[in-house]
Amino acid sequence: MSTKNMKFETKVIHVGGEPDPTTGAIMPPIYQTSTYVQSSPGEHKGYEYTRSHNPTRTRLEENLASLENANHCLVTASGLSASTLIMHMLPKGSNIICGDDVYGGTYRLFSKVFPDIHNYTFVDTTNLKKLEEEIARLKPALVWLETPTNPLLKISDIKAISNLAKKTNALTVVDNTFMSPFFQNPLDLGADIVLHSVTKFINGHSDVVGGALMMNSKDIRDKLFFYQNAIGPAQSPFDSWLVLRGIKTLAVRMKAHQENAIKVAKFLEKHPKVERVIYPGLESHPQHKLAREQMKGFGGMITFFLKGEIAESRRFLENVKLFALAESLGGVESLVDHPAIMTHASIPKATREQLGIYDNLIRLSVGIEDVDDLIADLEMGFAKV
Ligand code: P1T
């Protein structure tokens, strides 16, 4: 069966998972090697050095490309190293439009590391009219979307924005980390590059840091590969193997994350100690209709505002137990995060508050434990507020 005809649930298990040709081993070998023997200078089997290529990583790249309906994939050492490669690919002095609400590390990369090389303008990409004006004014080389955003879960219209960007030959990049390829496929909506922090839902077990870039254009792939090889952020064979192991359950995990998240979001929406809940699956979400159109589900991330200030937030966060207080997301276990102090601390307070990231904002990565246990745990936290 051609992989193009396979359903997602089959692809995650089978693409890149052919039995080992020499032994028949059903699980892919970990090619834990830095180099490969050549029979004569330049004569080899396609592998020269693991920074450039590794067979275990190749299998993961094949699998991930198929999940995003992409022709190509590069697996990198982290999500942020994947973002870094895109920045190196652009001509020096490029204008870049970036959504105003993005992961704090992405914001730090674009506001502290790369401004010497490119010019960044942060725009609310949910406002198409404003974005259109900015695209016409800046003629950017690239429009960077995170949708849904981290942590406010704002949703941008990938199809409409890719079309706007194409008018001025700008590339559209979508950071699809929060949805995973199971719930959203940006290339199918017109984006040029999809980025994932593989650390999150794709690996799903909080034991690997990694990134991935998927694209259809061979030209873009080759440019990005050049920088990956030249700079060096390739994923190790063992980490690629762990991701190949974790990814087999991506479909079942995403369904379970979503089932639990819907119940938790509804519980929070009715809770007297909660001011407001943001979850794309709730009718109250400002872009619920767009979420229904461009996503195949609503995912496992919830953001909510507690009634109170930093003291109340701390009481809540110190008293939940199943929801572990930790950065990151997308693992089978539930996590809770305080963006203002933790994941988004690198954004200046004034900018953060302009966006709505206040001290009473709490982000949940809803795991796949029993949902009644999760709700009881949240209730324990609220009881101490
Ligand atoms: O951590 P790393 O694998 O380098 O991925 C960076 C990254 C990129 N994009 C999004 C949307 C992300 O959420 C992240 C990492 N985020 C966290 C660690 C966090 O807790 O939000």
Chunked mean pLDDT (size 10), the chain, 385 residues: 90 95 94 98 97 98 98 98 98 98 97 97 97 98 98 98 97 98 98 99 98 98 98 98 98 98 98 98 98 98 98 98 98 98 96 96 98 98 97
Q: Cα of 322 to ligand 1 centre, how many Å?
A: 22
pLDDT value at residue 321: 97
Among 196, 221, 247, residue at a domain's last position = 247
Ligand 1 pocket mutation pick from 100, 177, 196, 334 by most atoms within 8 angstroms of CB: 177
Indicate if ligand 1 lies below 6 Å from the C-beta of 79. Answer: yes
CA of 197 to the centre of ligand 1 (A): 6
- Is 96 found in the same domain as 21? yes
Last residue of a domain, one of 229, 247, 265: 247
> What does the DSSP 8-state code read for residue 30?
-
Q: Are residues 174 and 279 in the same domain?
A: no
* 262 and 235 part of one domain: no
- Nearest-CA residue for ligand 1 atom 5 is 79
- Domain end among 247, 280, 306: 247
* pLDDT score at 4: 80
Which domain does 53 fall in, by range? 3-247
> pTM for this structure?
0.98
Q: What is the CATH number of the domain that holds 323?
A: 3.90.1150.10
Q: Which two tokens mark 70?
A: 């992409």
Same domain? 196 vs 272: no
Distance 211 CA to ligand 1 centre (A): 9
| Positions marked active-site | 51, 103, 175, 200
Give the number of domains in the chain: 2
| Burial 185-222, CB ≥16 within 10 A → b, else e | bbbebbbbbbbbbbbbbbbbebebbbbbbbbbeeebbe
**pLDDT value, residue 204:** 98
- Residue 117 is predicted with a pLDDT of 97
Ligand 1 atom with minimal separation from the 146 CA: 11
CB atoms within 10 A of CB 111: 16
Burial of residue 377 (CB within 10 Å: 0-12, 13-18, 19+) is middle
Question: 222: phi > 0 → left, psi -120 to 50 → alpha, else beta; which?
Answer: alpha
Separation between Cα atoms, residue 89 and residue 129, nearest integer Å = 28
Q: Is 329's C-beta closer than 6 angstroms to any atom of ligand 1? A: yes
Residue bearing the CA closest to ligand 1, atom 19: 328
